[in-house]
Amino acid sequence: MTHVVVVGAGQAGQALVSKLRTSGYEGRITMVGEEFAPPYQRPPLSKAYLLGDMGLERLYLRPESYYAENDITLRLGEKVRAIDPANKTVGLGDRPLSYDELVLTTGSRPRRLPAAIGGDLEGVYTVRTLQDADDMAPEFEPDRHVLIVGGGYIGLEAAAVAAKKGLKVTLVEMADRILQRVAAPETSDYFRALHKGHGVDIREGVGLEKLTGTGHVSGAVLTDGSKLKLDFVIVGVGITPDTTLAEAAGLEIENGIRTDAQGRTSDPHVWAAGDCASFPYRGGRIRLESVGNAIDQAELIARNIMGAEEAYEAKPWFWSDQYDVKLQIAGLNAGYDRIVVRPGESEGAQSHWYYRDGQLIAVDAMNDARAYMVGKRLIEGGKSPSPEEIADPATDLKALLKA
């Protein structure tokens, strides 16, 4: 009987073991996770869960009983020490665990502030795990002052939660504008106005020089010389793929664990999926940090373990919830040279359409599900309406799908 071992009990790991079972795989399955909780959703941690709008049980991707019912061995709260590809074992507990096929779904780790500038003070948090969210939840009391370091989606989502809970919120972004790395200026403008309308103090082009405090953070000095009195800090300055085990095992690394189109690493019996994996895409190589990619890639690998030999064709999509705005993103906007802004049908709704060399490559849709749906289908189908058509409010978006 074959044995599939999955290292990493997150979205990709859960999707993979479920797909194996629903596809008729009858061998042994073991999933190993460092956390004590069964696989759960991470996106709500910085939104609904922190707000108290989602309870713990709803976070779980499957009920705890699911794994036993489907003969999936969960080994939670355990850390894999090493991988030995030559002997097809992983170091776990007091003896090695043998595998026939190994899947790495180790995800990513948040970047942290250096200890030299106060990053190790109490009251300084990242938002990545359930424990992170639980640890910081008591801090969210009205009139307390929180500093958010980083103006990407994680930072903005945390700022929205804090503002909704009545805290004083200051957000600093070292780049010239929030969302600079991931979105057009028009999208930055939209979310800057949204946050300022909810009382968030956004400071762009300003970095953190150091945090101050004895034991617990109590203040900050910014790069423009200003000083803040604080109660706590949330750091949202990006994530890095967790390649530690793979690198030590001698697997090829290239902006993550390098895989081929089928999800195999440089070892034919080791696979990788989710945030930790980089894969071929349109003549290049990318790594996607999204729930959709984690699920799709993991399910593909499950089929390939069973002999399908399918190539992965990524269909990038992302989302973010801030206040009453749902941002939905289709495609990848790298290299865009033109933006078309299209008003939505409801108040405050709009979409931003990204073009490169006249070709539609991505859409940001704010409270505009129709624009997102149409844009996603157009991009996946290789269709590209003209910028003039998109800019014209009289254009029927759905009709573009039939053109």
226-249 pLDDT, tens per residue?
999 999 999 999 999 999 999 999
Q: What is the pLDDT of residue 402?
A: 87
The burial class, CB within 10 Å (0-12 / 13-18 / 19+), for 181 is exposed
pLDDT at 345 > cutoff 90: no
pLDDT at 364 > cutoff 80: yes
Per residue in 3-13, pLDDT tens? 999 999 999 99
Assign 79 a pLDDT band (cuts: 50, 70, 90): very high
Q: What is the pLDDT of residue 105?
A: 98
Tell me which residue of 339, 368, 335, 337 sits closest to 351, measured CA to CA: 368
Looking at domain 3-109+240-305, its CATH class is alpha beta
Q: What is the CATH number of domain 112-235?
A: 3.50.50.60
CA atoms within 13 A on the CB side of 273: 34
Q: What is the pLDDT of residue 403?
A: 75
Determine the topology of domain 324-400 in CATH: Enolase-like; domain 1 (3.30.390)
Backbone angles phi, psi at 166, to 5 degrees: 85, 20
Q: What is the DSSP letter of 212?
A: E
Mean local confidence (pLDDT), 126-142: 95
**Helix-helix angle 11-22:291-305, to 10 degrees:** 40
The whole-model pTM stands at 0.95
What are the residue ranges spanned by the domains of the chain? 3-109+240-305, 112-235, 324-400
Domains 3-109+240-305 and 112-235 share a fold: yes
Q: What is the pLDDT of residue 351?
A: 98
